[in-house]
Chains A and B, each alone.
Chain A
Amino acid sequence: MKLKPGVASVPQAENGNPDAAEWQEDPVAPESKEPEKVIHPESSGVPGISTPPESVAEMRKTTVWDFRARGEPFVWGLGGALAIGILMIIGFIALILYNGVLTFYPKPIDVVTLREGGVLAGEFVRSDVYRPGPDTLASMPKEIVEQIVEEDKGKVTRRLYRIGNYDLYNEDFKWVPEYSITGTTNPPGLYFFERMEWGPFIGRIKSVDLNGKVIPGDDLSRDRLKTALQRASDRRKSIYELERGRMGDVNYRMDKARLALRKVALNKGEDSPEYKEAKARFEAASAELQSRYDELAKEAAAIKELDGKYTIMLADVSGQEKTLGLSNIVRCYAANSLTLFDKLAVYFSRWGEFLTQEPREANTEGGVMPAIFGTFCMTVLLALAVAPFGVIAALYLREYAKQGALVSLVRICVNNLAGVPSIVYGVFGLGFFAYVLGGSIDALFFPERLPNPTFGTGGLLWASLTLALLTVPVVIVATEEALAAVPQSMREGSLACGASKWQTIKYIVLPRAMPGIMTGLILAMARGAEEVAPLMLVGVVKLAPELPVDGFFPYIHLDRAFMHLGFHIYDVGFQSRNSEAARPMVYVTTFLLISLVFSLNAASIFLRNRLKKKFFAGHF
């Protein structure tokens, strides 16, 4: 084909997929070969070159631009689809990033003066436009109604403020229509308090009572407040450590002793000498534990009493007062007089709390450490379970089984199982693992705890196994692909050198397939970490008081229910009392989960690319 000079240098794509001549001069010949085309160019399904009926010589002079062949509008349609897809993805990521990253950044507190009198103080959350109903309009002053109807076409902008102080107002978020706002200010001296209970408090410090020493709020230096809060928080921690740590420990031992006694009673009967002996032992032990418990309780009570003497008196923006224990305050800052450095300090301290603390306030505040830990434990267990089985199954299919119709059928089914809905695995996990397997384990090994189930209900082990089953096809497929990618010549070479089949697999095939297998495994872990639906059936709970790993024998408690980041999102976003208050937490958790899943996936893609390169080099 002869191209017009000037466009002859159209770049061609390297791999034989030319971006091609977009516009072309008419060729010389076809006219004579396909005369029908000339007459009915519309009806022809075969695209290509149009041949106007003029003489060849004349045609050479003109450049023709066949729009039908170029299909520009269609190409734009195709490209538009990709563009929409990419915009959607960018928008999604931006939404999560923006909200996830900025949620913990402290916001200023606006003091809003209202037209009908009164003030409120709160963090601005967002605003939106709505259309007030006729009843609402009727209750408004006339001039406002006129303004709304005339100028704003019946629509009203309103702002959402987080006003906190749930214990005083019975609501912690408030919508304020813009027409009723007469002014907003950001006065210094307003503090944002995060509390152990009742959500945040927004207001001023009236006074602080440090064990009888009363300091008015105006005289309180920042350092003084800081040290007082630090001490209060130390006291809180020591109470927690006593109650949850040491007293919990005693309770645990007591429970264990009771169960041991029950086991003897079940095994030997209550009349047997063994039982009497065990009972005597139990009574001695429980008396000792009880006395220790009482001691600890006394100690805790003493700290609590001391703690009760350190209080802070707060006043909200309209002067309503509230006295709190100092140790009730998790964090406080003067929101409107923070320097950038202070803001960053608050920001990072919130992240620190989020990553390392337990949740508070029905999961809407505090941290998600148990959920992170639960997700981690489950994913690790899942990998431990899925790796050997997936690899063995793939080895069997690829290296041992006789390739034939049956194996292809099995392969189809395995591919198929990768597409079976996760909830179906959850149903199976609940029915088979928890109820059938777990029920039998309980009956055999833990009869003393019945009717309370030990393994006979959802738990870490069953959740991991269910997800392992869910992800086994992923590993099988990936491993099979990796095994298939190892050149047959290598196997033959190894066998020819006298190595046994297992030696060949162990020393030749597996090492070369390892990156592929790892890719599959990481993909499986990513899939496992993101699944929530099956977990809802087999062991995830909204709040697990005990971690699956702790200091008591056998240290890893596979029977325990656990928390999970994905479920945390669902639970906090949809099941909590106050979805508005929970939203920041949901965003941050989402951000965390997405980062986790993305980094796992990115790792697998990285591995896959490295694998490809390795074989390009290794394959002669």
Chain B
Amino acid sequence: MAQPKDSSLKQTRKWVLIADKIADNSITIGGLLVICTVFGMMVFLVWEVIPLFLGGSVQKQTEYRLNASPGRVLAMKLDEQKTIGVRVTENGVLTAWHAATGTILKAPSFDLQGKKITAVATTRNGHHAAFGFEDGTARFVEITHKTEVNPLNEMPSGLKRLNDRDQTDGTAVYSEIPGRQFRKMWIEVKLYDEIKAFDSGSPIRAMDCRFSQFGERPLQILAAIDQKGQGRLLKVESKLNLFTRELKTEVTAAELPALPENVPVVHALVNEVGNTVYFAQQDGTVYRFNVRDFEHPLLAETTRLTEPGVSLNVFGYLLGEASIVAGGSDGSVNIYFLLRRKDAHSQDGYALVHTRSFESQPAPIVGFAASQRCRSFVTQDESGNLWLRHGTSERTLLKVKESRNESSSGGGKIVLAPRRDGLLALLEDGTTNLWDIDVPHPESSLHTLFGKVWYEGYPSPSYTWQSTGATDAFEPKLSIVPLVFGTLKATFYALLFAVPLAILAAIYTSEFLPASVRGKIKPSIEVMASIPSVVLGFVAALVLAPVVENWVAAVIMAFVCIPLSLMLAAYLWQLLPPPMALRLDGIPKFICMLAIIGVSLWVTYSLGPLFEKYFFHGDFKAWVNQDVGEAAPFWFLLLLPVSAIFVSTAAGRLIGYRVNQYLKRARPFPAALVDLGRWLGIATASIAVSYGAALVFQGLGLDARGSVVGTYVQRNTLIVGFAMGFAVIPLIYTLAEDALNAVPAHLRSASLGCGATPWQTAIWIVLPTAVSGVFSAIMIGMGRAVGETMIVVMSAGNTPLIDMNIFNGLRALSANIAVELPEAPKDDTLYRILFFTGLVLFGMTFVINTIAEMVRLRFRRRSAQL
């Protein structure tokens, strides 16, 4: 810039320079900031998603030594806040201790009257346990962590401080909690009445128990087997007499079919409803009893869960009682489901099926603990390795190792804290390890998101999305494959409908319409691009869907009828004398086209029922259900375009040259007649060919029903295709028209000047030049269709299925987010998976748009060169 050199000119005022500097900096910073923010979005999404794929981590490991236990540890329990640990040892002695420090607390013990315990079982949450004795009796016990929350100022004084959170008075633990309150926690126990499990008095060898509460009526279930191999299933119901307020217990027993004498059963398992009982031997043989009929139990199946020579050391249920974990002495961990199988070698048609395998541990598995909240579980091996795994994802989330003394013997117990945030391992010599762990998203892995997973109760591995269920024991099924499929399916049908319409209309607008008309039509279609998608969704779902449901045959007919009538009209148009045809070109011709569309719509409307009658046996919905009719009619319709292409090519080869020669010599009217005749001939021939082919297909036993077409649902992909097509048509149309229009006019002039017709110019000169621009328009339309939300939420039925059927619903990624994210708790696995699906959507559209943009830029450079 020229500096004012003349001293008489004023110096640039200071504030101008300052303002310039400020503007410079603020615009640069602001601009960069805006751009960064926009990119920050992607970073944030990734940031939210990453924890899904991280395993667990150990926050803290504490180790201390309790006094050695007198004999075996029978049961162990830890509360939700990981405050007090409790163990029960031989003779019913109970030890409670402060879990974080190992300080022993005073706690009551069970008075078992000196009976010797021969078998023990605990419920999954550890609140209840049952002891089986050598005289064939059994007793339920209850161990409760009692809590009480009070304002902080009521906290008693003179407590002994345990750590920065807890204090104790020797019996209870007092913890300060947020909100100026404190929590008092202590242990209470209850011993239930003795149950005579075996009248014979033979010692109980193994047992399992369940404790469920239906209102005021507890139901205790006990499955036990005695030394002789006699199994029994007992149900203990307590009923409260409303008048006397007396609790009456009633024991009913089912005698299980006897196993061979002296079977060395070591594991017993019963489910919560008490209709299936398992007994397992050390060598891996499992006996399954079906007790659906309580009066007549059935030994349904005998099978082996381990390889020969490998002993079964761990046998237990996961949450939901559908997965059975089997841990072997070779370190293997597997999950079995009880499934209905056609080839089952069992009495009741069910079989234990091996469905999931886990990473093997280096030493024999000896301990097992399942989570109460999800399908996580811990397995412990002989050398003290504790591996935290998750049933659904088959992941090993965390590996920790107990620190043991030389003198440490085996045995002991492990327990997973109820909130899955702690792991407590106790050895018989009193060595105790407590890990504070953090395993936020055990159920997600690339495998569960993208792969086939064998879910509980499913006959085979599948891609399933079902994020929430009715009960706590529900296993979330989080495969995003059905959602991606839904998105692609919706996009495919939308584009199938929109692309031909939009591109053809764009070519017509740009090449055949007078500029004045184009100037009016184009903006009005552009305005259409701004129709809110919620409106399109509403119209599609509540107006269009019922209409299409009633007239589906007519809609299918329209796809055939409209092109045919347009062609027919074109050949009839050729009959017009040339001067008249020229005079009517442009607007009148276009109005004729509108009229033809109207007429053919009316024809489909009035002939629709007739069409339905002859093609689909009078009832389309019954036809697609394969209730009535045959496969041929649909094949005929599907093959019609193919055979038309085939026949017209063949005709061109055979008689085309001669006909053309004739046409060139003949006068316009007879020539047009001949041309019409030729077209009619080709049309008839292709109908015949198509019908013949359809009969052949039917003869071969091929049927499109059940794959591309199938059971009709009101809100289906066809509707979505229409509505979303409607949404993307304006977009593709505008962009394609722009691209066609950008082809330099001199190319057109040259072509026309050489004697080419407008049609030839359009198809051989303009379209090839603009093809990359048109392609980018299609890609951008595709990007929009992939991300469209409200239309699919409202008109797609939201069923996450993998089904090719065009008459079935779907659930798209975007709709899934809109439906489920408002309900998903923050930072939960579902929340993050929905973020992940958002990222997938982002990625899909980003790739599509980038391709479109690059193609567009290339097109722009190329057309600039022309």
Contacts and interface: CB of A to CB of B under 8 A. Distances in A.
Contacts of A150: none
B759 A69 contact: yes
Contacts of A401: 28, 31
Nearest to B824: A430
B271 interface: no
Interface stretch (A74-82, A213-221, A249-257, A344-352): A74-82
Contacts of B44: 428, 431-432
A419 B776 CA distance: 13
B772 interface: no
Chain B interface: which size bin? 35 or more
A502 interface: yes
7 contacts: A1-B755, A54-B665, A77-B563, A469-B37, A586-B542, A590-B539, A598-B530
A75 B570 contact: yes
A410 B849 CA distance: 14
Interface string B753-775: 11111111101100000000000
B794 A85 contact: no
Interface of A: 1, 6-7, 10, 13-24, 27, 41-42, 45-50, 52, 54, 62-89, 92, 95-96, 128-131, 153, 270, 388-390, 392-397, 399-401, 410, 412-417, 419-428, 430-432, 435, 469, 472-473, 476, 495-496, 498, 500-503, 505-506, 526-527, 529-533, 536-537, 566-567, 569-570, 573-574, 579, 583, 586, 590, 593-594, 597-598, 600-602, 605
Contacts of B849: 415-416, 419-420
Nearest to A396: B31
A349 B696 CA distance: 66
A417 B848 CA distance: 11
A19 B12 contact: no
Interface stretch (B102-110, B252-260, B294-302, B814-822): B814-822
Contacts of B764: 45-47
Interface in B374-393: none
A394 B502 CA distance: 31
A498 to B, nearest CB: 7
B494 interface: no
Interface stretch (B56-64, B121-129, B461-469, B655-663): B655-663
A269 B434 CA distance: 36
A14 B508 CA distance: 18
B19 A502 contact: yes
B532 A597 contact: yes
B593 A85 contact: no
Contact of B507 (A48, A78, A414): A78
Contacts of A20: 752, 757-758, 761
Contacts of B866: none
Given A63-B578, A77-B566, A396 B32 contact: yes
A420 B672 contact: no
A241 B473 CA distance: 50
A82 B755 CA distance: 27
A498 B1 contact: yes
Given A570-B538, A594-B532, A81 B500 contact: yes
A573 to B, nearest CB: 5
A474 to B, nearest CB: 12
Contacts of A506: 23
Contacts of B16: 500, 502-503
Given A7-B582, A419-B780, A598-B530, A62 B842 contact: no
A594 B794 CA distance: 18
B39 A78 contact: no
A526 B666 CA distance: 58
Interface string B470-513: 00000000000000000000000000000011111101110110
A83 B593 contact: yes
A536 B817 CA distance: 10
Interface of B: 1-2, 4, 12, 16-17, 19-20, 22-24, 26-28, 30-32, 34-35, 37-39, 41, 44-45, 48, 180, 500-505, 507-509, 511-512, 514-515, 521, 523-528, 530-535, 537-539, 541-543, 546, 550, 562-563, 566-567, 569-571, 573-574, 578-579, 581-582, 585-586, 589-590, 593-594, 596-598, 609, 619, 652, 656-657, 660-661, 663-668, 671-672, 675, 679, 726, 729, 733, 745-746, 748-749, 752-761, 763-764, 780, 783-784, 786-790, 793-794, 814, 817-818, 821-822, 826, 834-835, 838, 841-842, 845-846, 848-850, 852-854, 857
B532 A89 contact: no
B593 A95 contact: no
Contact of B578 (A65, A397, A502, A597): A65
Task: Provide the main secondary structure of the chain B interface.
Answer: helix
Nearest to B819: A536
Nearest to A429: B41
B532 A73 contact: no
Given A64-B664, A420-B849, 4 more contacts: A76-B569, A413-B39, A420-B842, A432-B41
Nearest to A415: B853
Contacts of A583: 542
B814 A66 contact: no
A74 B505 contact: no
Contacts of B817: 423, 426-427, 537
A424 B841 contact: yes
A16 B505 CA distance: 21
Contact of B538 (A80, A527, A586): A586
Contacts of B668: 23, 63, 65
B578 A95 contact: no
A245 B546 CA distance: 45
Nearest to A14: B515
B853 A393 contact: no
A611 to B, nearest CB: 14
Given A78-B504, A500-B16, A593-B532, A421 B788 contact: yes
Contacts of B537: 570
Nearest to B785: A421
A473 to B, nearest CB: 8
Nearest to B746: A16
Nearest to A39: B657
B527 A598 contact: yes
Contact of A605 (B523, B541, B594): B523
Contacts of B567: 73, 76-77
A75 B755 contact: no
Contacts of A420: 787, 842, 845-846, 849
A581 B652 CA distance: 60
Contacts of B757: 20-22, 47, 69-71
Contacts of B758: 19-20, 22, 75
Contacts of A415: 849, 853
A498 B12 contact: yes
Contacts of A537: 817-818, 821-822
A255 B793 CA distance: 39
Nearest to B537: A570
Contacts of B503: 81
Contacts of A574: 538, 541, 794
B700 to A, nearest CB: 33
B853 A530 contact: no
A135 to B, nearest CB: 16
Contacts of B539: 92, 95-96, 590
Nearest to B524: A89
Given A19-B758, A530-B530, A570-B537, A83 B787 contact: no
A16 B745 contact: yes
Contact of A569 (B538, B729, B826): B538
B562 A80 contact: yes
Given A73-B570, A428-B45, A48 B760 contact: yes
Given A13-B514, A20-B752, A129 B550 contact: yes
Contacts of B511: 78
A95 B764 CA distance: 40
B527 A601 contact: yes
Nearest to B613: A153
Contacts of A393: 30-31, 34-35
